[in-house]
């Protein structure tokens, strides 16, 4: 979906006064991004849908509490998503469900649909490794690669400085490299 | 290749980033999912309704508002009755 053109500040003001149409515009702008984030964090299409709905419901119910103190609205939304995903993981671990390691294949943007149906074995292995990382490292990678965010933007969402994000990213790459050493994924030939 | 435990060479970083970029690609949520979500956010969830009913502070203000409104209506009605009654006398 093409990016909707509107003055976000104005729309936010209207939405915080209970204007559902204004909130609808925000929904259209952010639905894909929030869905992507939740989808990669849960690895489950059904839960991704449910949690994405709850993110927007919670945002709609509390939008009057959002005040722009240097934190963009998107960061506020991602924080809601982050909290709900954290609760979801906590509940699942309590119920001791069988973990879902594989993220189901959905068509990627800009790719031919048929190409996406077959995700390479290498990508599956890497995805499994990513999903074994601590939550904050998964967040970082998703925000960086799926959402294409800068370290500063990621810092605003994670409540960390840009330097701290950079450092965490470096440690995450180190951890991945060490784990990839035991896998068939070859980095030397890149 | 993995000589240092705490350092990554530029080649390693580039290779890792290429793998990550190839794996963590933005996906498009299915249209039916977007549509269902759109419908879901129009109405509050049942638990939301329950939590609203448990909001005693809000209930108190609603009850107070209704009682005040009724009092105003009764006062106006009594005033009208009094004025109309005087005309007929």
ipTM of the complex: 0.74
A contact residues 151-180, partner B, Cβ 8 Å cutoff: 170, 173-174, 176-178, 180
pLDDT at A115 over 70: no
pTM above 0.90, yes or no: no
Q: Residue B20's closest chain A neighbor by CA?
A: A145
> Domains in chain A, ordered, with CATH?
1-100 (1.10.1740.10), 110-190 (1.10.10.10)
pLDDT at position A98 is: 45
Cα dihedral B79/B85/B86/B88 (nearest 10):
150
CA–CA distances in Å: residue A115 to residues A94, A105, A119, B36: 37, 10, 8, 27
By the CB < 8 Å criterion, does B35 face chain A? no
Give tens-digit pLDDT for B12-56.
889 899 989 988 988 888 888 888 887 877 655 556 556 665 677
Q: Could A177 and B16 be called an inter-chain contact, meaning their C-beta atoms sit closer than 8 Å?
A: yes
By the CB < 8 Å criterion, does A78 face chain B? no
């Amino acid at each position: 979906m093409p990016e909707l053109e509107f003055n976000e500040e104005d729309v936010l003001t209207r939405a915080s006064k209970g204007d559902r149409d204004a909130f609808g515009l925000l929904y259209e702008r952010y639905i894909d991004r929030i869905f992507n984030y939740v989808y990669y964090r849960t690895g489950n299409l059904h839960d991704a849908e449910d949690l994405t709905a709850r993110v927007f419901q919670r945002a709609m119910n509390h939008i009057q509490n959002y005040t722009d103190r240097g934190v963009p609205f998107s960061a506020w939304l991602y924080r809601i998503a982050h909290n709900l995903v954290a609760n979801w993981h906590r509940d699942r671990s309590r119920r001791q469900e069988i973990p879902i390691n594989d993220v189901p294949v959905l068509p990627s943007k800009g790719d031919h649909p048929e190409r996406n149906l077959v995700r390479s074995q290498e990508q599956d292995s890497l995805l499994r490794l990513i999903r074994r990382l601590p939550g904050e490292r998964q967040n970082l990678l998703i925000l960086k690669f799926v959402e294409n965010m800068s370290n500063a933007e990621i810092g605003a969402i994670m409540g960390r400085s840009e330097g701290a994000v950079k450092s965490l990213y470096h440690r995450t790459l180190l951890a991945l490299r060490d784990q990839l050493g035991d896998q068939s994924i070859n980095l030397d030939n890149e | 290749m993995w000589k240092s435990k705490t350092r990554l060479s530029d080649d390693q970083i580039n290779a890792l980033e290429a793998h990550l970029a190839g794996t963590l690609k933005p996906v498009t949520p299915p249209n039916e999912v977007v549509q269902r979500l759109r419908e879901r956010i129009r109405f509050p969830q049942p638990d939301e309704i329950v939590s609203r009913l448990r909001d005693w502070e809000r209930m108190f203000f609603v009850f107070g508002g209704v009682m005040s409104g009724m009092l105003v209506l009764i006062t106006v009605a009594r005033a009208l009755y009094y004025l109309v009654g005087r005309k007929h006398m």
